[in-house]
Amino acid sequence: MRRKQGVNAELEDMDSSLKAFLESQISELEQRIESVITKEEDRSATSCSRQDWLLPAIIQF
């Protein structure tokens, strides 16, 4: 077996695979978070626009 700095080559390969897996999971979570934030921003904007027309309508009543 090949050794690099006293570390077994199989362990190096496993480490690389785990790092790649974690990076892909982190990337997926970041995309999900961005999606949720965007949806909440859209919902907030919609809520504000509803308030913009609702308040004058109440005042005029």
Distance CA 23, CA 12 (A): 16
Q: In this model, does residue 47 exceed pLDDT 90? A: no
Domain of 17 in residue numbering reads as 3-60
Question: For residues 22 and 15, is the Cβ–Cβ distance under 8 A?
Answer: no
- What percent of the chain is modeled with pLDDT above 90? 31
4: which residues sit within 8 A by CB, 6+ positions away? 12
What one-letter code names the amino acid at 33? I
pLDDT, tens digit, 9 for 90 and up, residues 16-28: 999 999 999 999 9
- Global pTM value: 0.57
pLDDT score, position 24: 96
The answer to whether residue 3 scores a pLDDT higher than 60 is no
Q: What tokens does 30 get?
A: 């970041």
The domain total for the chain is 1
